[in-house]
Amino acid sequence: MAKIKYQTPSGMHDILSEDYAYYEKVYEIVNDIARFYGFGRIQTPVLEDAALFEKSTGATTDIVEKQMFTLKTKGGDELALRPEFTPGIARAYVQHGMLNMPQPVKLYTYGPLFRYEHPQAGRFRQFHQVDFEVFGEESPAIDAEIIQIFYAILKELKFSHLIIEVNSIGDSQCRPYYKKLLANYLRPRANSLCADCRRRMRQNPLRMLDCKEEKCQRIKAQAPQIIDHLCDSCKAHFKSLLEFLDEADLPYHLDPYLVRGLDYYTKTVFEIFSDRTVQVVDEQGEIVQRSALVGGGRYDNLLKILGGKEIAASGAAAGVERIMAIMKDRGTLAMEEAKPRVFLAQLGDLPKKKSLKILEEFRRAKISVAESLGRDSLRTQLGRADKLGAEYTIILGQKEVLENAVVVRKMETGEQETVKMENLVDELKKRLKR
């Protein structure tokens, strides 16, 4: 009988140790910047009510229509693996009464998300994002701060030639008029649109502006621009945002057709690209779109949609795998693996048993140590210490255990010295400091 071979599901992948350094580097920088800007960490469930995303993200969005992993529990509950972070964090803000906390409330998170879409370069069914959200502040200064935070994260990760694409999509006062204007423009050109955009034209014509099909791009290029039809309030908000970006020396480009693909956005929308942004490739190997590293904007109506009060909010998310792909493409490691400065070699059963206590003492003293507890040959262990680049090797044999001492060997010169066990940590600290 042939042996059954199990593999990861399509579009999902294991994170092996050589890749984990990249994730850790991204999250290390995210944590540092989040703390500096006063953001608190939140973690929402991987499973949420499917209706949460249908109501907030939008029933006609690609995420809800095509990409959600849904399931029905034995009790009849309709649940979905989270396809994005924002609705869940907004739900938590309402559910836990964060409106009663000092405003604004700043929250951030990172972790896995799930979307059922065709796996291709730069897109996975399980992927990771970094997400920052701010609730309870309507000033465009918060939009600018969110943009600056993600720009800073990418710069700390050694990204260069970043560009911020920014636009305003208005609000409930001015957007309905623009939608009618856009629908009137698209109607006589409907036969030239892709099938998705013909459907979008009836349900939400703004979604057509997010289409990446070439024939739709040509029609979009001549479409009326929403920025010409903003109400006074939205116009003032957008003008102020651009002034904040100018003062912060953040390089931006006004894209009058940027809308993002989610229904809850109001006013500010933005995306950040690198000149080395990963391209999405189709089955024929052709580039079909440029993928943003970061995307976000303002969503002042979302909390009300979820049953709360009308609370101003702004946020954004970054795709970790897309960031990692560029870091790898550059040919540089995200972080240098910490090389152990000390190697612990032991010979025999009793020294092995003593080694665990020594290792823990080194850990508490914050001295990086490598070991090979399964090996007996001193020659083999010294060879491993040399390969790892250890500066010192501690040799613990039967004789040393009985004398409550160790041999400290300087790897560069081969010089050896016997040191009492109780003085070992202090002695190594002195040597490593020198």
Give, as one character, the DSSP assignment of residue 338: P
Least Cα distance to 61 among 206, 268, 270 occurs for: 206
84 is in an annotated binding site: yes
State the first-to-last Cα distance of the chain, in angstroms, to the nearest integer.
63
How many angstroms separate the CA atoms of 291 and 146, rounded? 19
Q: At residue 390, what are phi and psi to the nearest 5 degrees?
A: -65, 140
Residue 7 counted as an annotated binding residue: no
Strand partners for 131? 109, 317
Query: The dihedral of CA 236, 241, 247, 253: what is its sign?
Result: negative
Q: Which residue has the tokens 């065709």?
A: 118
What is the sign, positive or negative, of the torsion defined by CA atoms of 72, 77, 81, 83?
positive
> According to the annotation, is 85 in a ligand binding site?
yes
| Rounded Cα gap, residues 395 and 345, in angstroms | 5
Give CA–CA dist 222/54, Å, rounded. Answer: 32
Whether 330 has a binding-site annotation, put simply, is: no
**C-beta of residue 62 within 8 angstroms of C-beta of residue 260:** no
**Structure tokens that stand for 4 in this block:** 């059954």
Please name which of 405, 409, 397, 407 lies closest in space to residue 422, comparing C-alpha atoms: 405
Residue 250's nearest CA partner among 294, 289, 209 is 294
Residue 249: is it exposed, middle or buried by C-beta count within 10 angstroms (0-12/13-18/19+)?
exposed
Helix (H, G, I), strand (E, B) or coil at 353: helix
Q: Is 116 annotated as a binding residue?
A: no
- Strand order through the sheet with 70-72: 47-49, 78-81, 70-72
Parallel/antiparallel/unpaired status of strands 369-371 and 342-346: parallel
Q: Check the annotation: does 265 bind a ligand.
A: yes
- Binding-site members for L-histidine are 84-86, 115, 129, 133, 260, 264-265
- Binding-site members are 84-86, 115, 129, 133, 260, 264-265
